[in-house]
Amino acid sequence: MPVASTPLRFPRLLLTGAAGGLGQVLRPRLKAYCDTLRLSDIADLGSAAAGEELRPVKLEDRAGVLSLLEGVNAVVHLGGVSTEQHFDLILQANIVGTYNLYEAARKHGVRRIVFASSNHVTGFYRQDEVIDANAPMRPDGHYGISKAYGENLAQFYFDRYAIETVSLRIGSSFPEPKDRRMLATWMSYDDLERLVMASLTAPVVGHSVIYGMSDNTTTWWDNTSARHIGYRPQDSSEKFRAAVEARQAPLDFNDPAVLYQGGAFVRTGPIE
């Protein structure tokens, strides 16, 4: 069931990447927590519903992003390239674009950002390891590197300018896990909502890093250090285990995607 409404409401929230997979999931859910939901993406956002504002902006457009954050109380930043791509594409959307977002937040006095980082920041840890947010970053590609940059940028903007961020190292948020790897990384849409709202409403977060996952039986990530956020997942991938294991072919332990937490991202070759 969807999460119950909270009495805490924001006058205006900004959701970037609103036309993406998780953006489409969060769009109707976030509206319950704010008077006005400002939506941004370079893809088609459709028509504005009641209480919505549509503001398509390229993240690499510094002036456009500055205007985008005017009058905003908090940001859920999902925007950018979400797959492994040529570095030039990653650079503009995920690195230049994230810098533009934080600079705009500083100039407009926005005090809280929820940053969609990724488990690919630590994708080169093995699947037989359990790590927490204090483990050194080991990104598994250009995409993971860009999210590592975003986390470091968030730390800098908190240390220098007191802008608070919760960096969400999102695992695999889909209706159900697609393979055995996702039995560890899966996060339900309801738990995604719980995590985002906990990140927006926790009284004090500084710069906190938390892995985005449900209460799965198999896990590689320890979120103990982020319990102050108040996120308590209520779903689990376990109910899907039998079906997932029945349909997946035997694992090839010579395949790095089987050994490392980043899955297929760790064996993506050069992208020209």
Cβ burial, residue 159 (10 Å; 0-12/13-18/19+): exposed
User: H or E element: which one contains 185?
Assistant: helix 182-185
The tokens for 231 are 């996120």
Of the candidates 53, 64, 49, 55, the residue with the CA atom closest to the CA atom of residue 97: 64
Torsion of CA 256, 259, 264, 265, to 10 degrees: -90
- CA triplet 81, 82, 83: central angle to 5 degrees? 100
Q: What are the Cα distances from residue 54, in Å, to 17, 68, 74?
A: 12, 10, 16
Query: What is the number of other CB atoms lying within 10 angstroms of the CB of residue 171?
Result: 26
Phi (first) and psi of residue 53, to 5 degrees: -125, 130
143 is catalytic: yes
Cβ atoms of 68 and 38 closer than 8 Å? yes
- Which one of the listed residues 33, 99, 143, 231 is annotated catalytic? 143
Q: What token pair was written down for 3? A: 């999460």
Do the Cβ atoms of 192 and 185 come closer than 8 Å?
no
Task: Compute the residue count for the chain.
Answer: 272
- Give the separation between CA 73 and CA 269, rounded to whole angstroms: 41
The tokens for 19 are 């036309």
Contacts of 24 (CB under 8 A, 6+ apart): 18
What amino acid positions are annotated as catalytic residues?
143
